[in-house]
Amino acid sequence: MNYQELWQRVLTDIELGTSRANFITWFQNTAIGDIKDQNSVIVYVPNAFTKEWLEHKYHKFILKTLRNILPEVKKVEYEISAELCRATQLTKKIAQPEIAEIQPEMQGLNLNIDQEANLNPRYTFESFIIGSFNELAHAAALAVTKNIGALYNPLFIYGGVGLGKTHLLQAVGNKMKSENPKLKAQYLTSEKFASELVEALQNQSMNKFKEKYRKHDLLIIDDIQFIAGKTKSQEELFHTFNTLYESNKQIVFSSDQPPKYIPNLEERLRSRFEGGMIVDISEPEYEARVAILKSKAAAKGISLPPKILEYIASAIQNNIRELEGALNLIAARTAILKTNLELTEIKDLLNKNIKPKKAITANQIIKTVSQFYDIQEKFLFEKTRRKEVVKPRQIAMYLLRQDFSGSYPYIGQKFGGRDHTTVIHAYEKISNDLKNNERLKEEIKNIRDLINKSA
């Protein structure tokens, strides 16, 4: 058995033990390099991101799988070599995932949706790609499916648009429904909840409405932020929540913000949302975007060279839906032209159809804050405690944390090597002040507008 064959067998075992999306993302372009001293295996990986991921997440699994075939193996090391990975590309053909056959959105159809539960089979855990940006949310969602109503209740997932909240929520429903078809599960948006409530009030069918929602084993409400400000809906949701919660039924919510930042949300609902598990999905970093594109392209059956994937990942920065949109465009265009597109053609296509938003940088935030308060930028970095500097500095720190997802130590570093506890203090101070200081709210809103315009 040569190395190639050995690795092939290992991969086959790994493929059975992992989801298809993860397999394609993390293993497809790996290769076995060498076996030193009979017991130390070198695995080539295409980039640092894959190396880190395999080392931290899959190492034990890989070692165990290798040992099943070569029991004398003691050590596995990962080496980056894009070249060698390409040279020993997998010969094994990876079957197209089933999702490629469904693709209801591309056809504008949703024929496969389970009408009652409102679950689209396209959104599964298997087709959900994991990276550090969504790892925790994924783990929490999966844990919920294994401990219905018992572990994290409610599960509250928040994050920006197009980052996979709906996908994950639906995956929870699909998994639970497939494992237990008798389970009463329903997915809906908070807007749907509100409009059904209005209808029930008009038709005097409130009892039916209450009964319907309170009999679920699993209730999933997406984009809960839209219920804010709607008094009657919030009241009804509160009672529905309590009924379900008290009988250990599972509730899952998503929102674009953590509960404490949803404006006009009733306090009692906020505290219910905060009573379970809150996890966020952040924006995928560059390497994760490349991985997502690679996996999605494979699922769509289009093959794109690395430099094209890298171009798309750098042009489209903040949203998985837009990454998919770009791939759909390219797939459609390729089908029409019946030939693979060159990089220049792809640039052209994306420029025309998708406005690539430049990512906001930390320096832009700092610059905008200092301009807004009309102070010199350098004062923000100095040790001065002058009042007219302290507040803008705290606001800049707050925005770096809130909008830029900077870590506390990173932000401290940015501001002249301050301790991370100073940053935490600033963040909490501004978060607190925002709760009842309308003027501050307005200022921060204006600053954000300016930052977005400059981006």
Q: Does 276 bind ligand ADP (CB under 6 A)?
A: no
166-225: contacts with ligand ADP (CB under 6 A): 166-167
Residue keyed to tokens 């025309």: 352
How are strands ordered across the β-sheet holding 31-36?
Answer: 31-36, 40-45, 75-80
- Of 164, 151, 171, nearest to 281 (Cα)? 164
Judged by beta carbon, residue 50 or residue 166, the one nearer Mg ion is 166
Query: What residues make contact with Mg ion under the rule CB under 5 A?
Result: 165-166
The dihedrals phi and psi of 262, each to the nearest 5 degrees, come to: -80, 115
Residue nearest to Mg ion (CB): 166
Q: Write down the number of H helices and E strands in the chain.
A: 23, 8
Task: Please tell me the count of residues contacting ligand ADP according to CB under 6 A.
Answer: 15
Q: How far is the CB of 116 from ligand ADP (least distance, A)?
A: 21
Judged by beta carbon, residue 165 or residue 230, the one nearer Mg ion is 165
Q: Does 275 bind ligand ADP (CB under 6 A)?
A: no
Q: CB under 5 to 8 A by kind: which of ligand ADP, Mg ion, none does 158 bind?
A: none
Q: How far is the CB of 164 from Mg ion (least distance, A)?
A: 8
Q: How far is the CB of 309 from ligand ADP (least distance, A)?
A: 15
Whole-number Å distance between alpha carbons of 181 and 155: 22
Judged by beta carbon, residue 261 or residue 381, the one nearer ligand ADP is 261
Residue 35 identity:
I
Q: CB under 5 to 8 A by kind: which of ligand ADP, Mg ion, none does 167 bind?
A: ligand ADP
Judged by beta carbon, residue 299 or residue 389, the one nearer ligand ADP is 299
CB 40 within 8 A of CB 77: yes
The DSSP secondary structure of 139-158, one letter per residue, reads HHHHHHHHSTTTSSSSEEEE
Q: Does 134 bind ligand ADP (CB under 6 A)?
A: yes
Q: What is the enclosing helix (H) or strand (E) of 424? A: helix 420-436
Pick the stretch among 155-163, 184-192, 365-373, 388-396 that binds ligand ADP (CB under 6 A). Answer: 155-163
Q: How far is the CB of 359 from ligand ADP (least distance, A)?
A: 18
Which residue in the set 161, 198, 343, 359 belongs to the binding site for ligand ADP (CB under 6 A)? 161
Per the DSSP assignment, residues forming a β-bridge with 250 are 218
Q: CB under 5 to 8 A by kind: which of ligand ADP, Mg ion, none does 255 bind?
A: none
CB 126 within 8 A of CB 174: no
- Of 161, 162, 168, 160, nearest to 129 (Cα)? 168
Q: Per this entry, what is the length of the chain? A: 455
Computed on alpha carbons and rounded to an integer, the radius of gyration of the chain in Å comes to 25
Pick the stretch among 186-194, 209-217, 318-326, 437-445 that binds ligand ADP (CB under 6 A). Answer: 318-326
Which residue in the set 41, 102, 324, 406 belongs to the binding site for ligand ADP (CB under 6 A)? 324
CB 224 within 8 A of CB 253: yes
Pick the stretch among 78-86, 317-325, 388-396, 445-453 that binds ligand ADP (CB under 6 A). Answer: 317-325
Judged by beta carbon, residue 94 or residue 450, the one nearer ligand ADP is 94
Whole-number Å distance between alpha carbons of 369 and 387: 15
The residues of the shown chain that bind ligand ADP, judged by CB under 6 A, are 127-129, 134, 159, 161-167, 320-321, 324
